[in-house]
Amino acid sequence: MTTYSNKNSVYFPDDVWSIVKSYGGIYDMKTPISKMTKDIINEVYIQVEEMNENRGRRCPLDKNVSTKKKQLQRIYKYIWNYKIALYIKNVCEESKAVNLKCGDEVYVGAKKYVAGIITKINEYTIQVKPYILKEQIHEYPYELLSVPWCYKVQYYDKTKLGRAFSIHSQYAYKNENNGKIDWNDEFNSCFICNKNICSKK
């Protein structure tokens, strides 16, 4: 049950209260700040500061994410309005893992740079089991400005999976390529191998 208190308490079932809020154009004051990535927090902070007509004391744009998160929480608590609420609602909707499903092959581009399989999906995060790299290292030489270099490439053993970890869905890139992928594919090689550039000098 949801409660609205004044001199006489009035009780509404949650479903009814949702209808009342929707009719009145009231959005939920709670926003999952902790589920936002650092990039999203930075972008949201800048936009909300521009929307905030009563800025008062603000933190400089070069402050760290933790400081900006606290500032956003203060705005949500004391300076909330319909425009900010609608913007945050749309940002959160875009952050949800709506285009992914269990079993999808993804490359994770933060914290752990690795390819693997999605084993669990939450509202904003996913759980990934990474592929294990084969021990053998392949060397592919090339020259750049008459200087010898080489790619050191380790391929994934896709029959073996490592320990699962959780990460925000916005850091996961789904493999949309249905054909064969080569190690030197500029955009898709991350799904089959890990490679590094080394000097041959």
**Has residue 148 got a pLDDT over 60?**
yes
> Over the stretch 103-134, which tens digit does the pLDDT of each residue have?
999 999 877 889 999 999 887 788 999 999 99
**E-strand spans in the chain?**
2-4, 10-12, 105-110, 112-121, 125-133, 138-144, 147-161, 165-168, 172-174, 193-199
In degrees rounded to 5, what are phi and psi of residue 116?
-175, -165
**Has residue 75 got a pLDDT over 90?**
no
> Which amino acid makes up residue 142?
Y
**Has residue 1 got a pLDDT over 50?**
no
Would you call 168 exposed, middle or buried from its count of C-beta atoms within 10 A (0-12, 13-18, 19+)? Answer: buried
Compute, in degrees rounded to 10, the torsion defined by CA atoms 133, 137, 142, 143: 100
- For the whole model, what pTM was predicted? 0.60
> Over the stretch 169-189, which tens digit does the pLDDT of each residue have?
878 889 988 888 999 898 899
List the one residue out of 182, 193, 111 whose CA is nearest residue 152.
193
Question: Percent of the chain having pLDDT more than 70?
Answer: 62
Residues 6+ apart with CB under 8 A from 64: none
